[in-house]
């Protein structure tokens, strides 16, 4: 039996749950890509159409993450912005993005967990978004477990 795609109504429950978290796209964009992927997994929804979209003005930053995925580099990292696509629609933490900066690369990942956790640990992220508070809040609201390893260092 194949898994089903989350409906628009079910996606709305995800966005409603995270709507009150401040500054999600000011340092939390990849965090929310990972949270969405974990939510799909927990709910048992089909994840085959899920991709992570990296946007950056500097193509070298994108190439670093490609090298990480190809296991040619030890660490992944941050970027100007990350979004995700699911079932043909692009999203970010605030819903459908109105602006995406620079060059784009789409990662159809078999290694979402490895990529997100490594990039969140090693990247240089905007501290307007309080990831540590969001880990607790998102975990409670969506009933998902987030690894302690992705806590933002002070």
> Using one digit for the tens of pLDDT, what is the confidence trace for 121-150?
988 888 889 998 999 999 999 999 888 888
Number of domains in the chain: 1
Supply the range of the domain harboring residue 118: 8-150
On whether residue 1 sits in a domain, the answer given is no
Q: So what's the pLDDT on residue 154?
A: 58
**Domain annotation covers residue 82:** yes
Q: What is the largest CA-CA distance in the chain?
A: 45
Tokens standing for 141? Answer: 């609201």
Mean pLDDT within 64-85: 94
Whether pTM > 0.85 for this model: the answer is: yes
Of residues 101 and 106, more confidently modeled? 106
Residue 63 lies in a domain: yes
**Structural domain contains residue 3:** no
């Amino acid at each position: 039996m194949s898994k089903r795609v989350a409906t628009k109504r079910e996606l709305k429950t995800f966005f409603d749950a995270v709507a009150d978290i401040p500054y999600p796209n000011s340092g939390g964009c990849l965090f929310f890509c990972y949270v969405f992927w974990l939510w799909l997994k927990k709910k048992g929804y089909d994840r085959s159409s899920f991709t992570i979209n990296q946007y950056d003005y500097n193509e070298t930053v994108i190439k670093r993450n490609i090298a990480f995925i190809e296991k040619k580099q030890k660490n992944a990292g941050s970027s100007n912005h990350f979004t995700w696509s699911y079932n043909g629609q692009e999203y970010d933490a605030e819903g459908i993005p109105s602006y995406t900066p620079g060059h784009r690369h789409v990662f159809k990942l078999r290694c979402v967990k490895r990529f997100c956790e490594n990039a969140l640990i090693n990247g240089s992220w905007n501290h307007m978004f309080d990831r540590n508070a969001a880990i607790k809040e998102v975990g409670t609201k969506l009933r998902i477990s987030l690894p302690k390893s992705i806590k933002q260092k002070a």
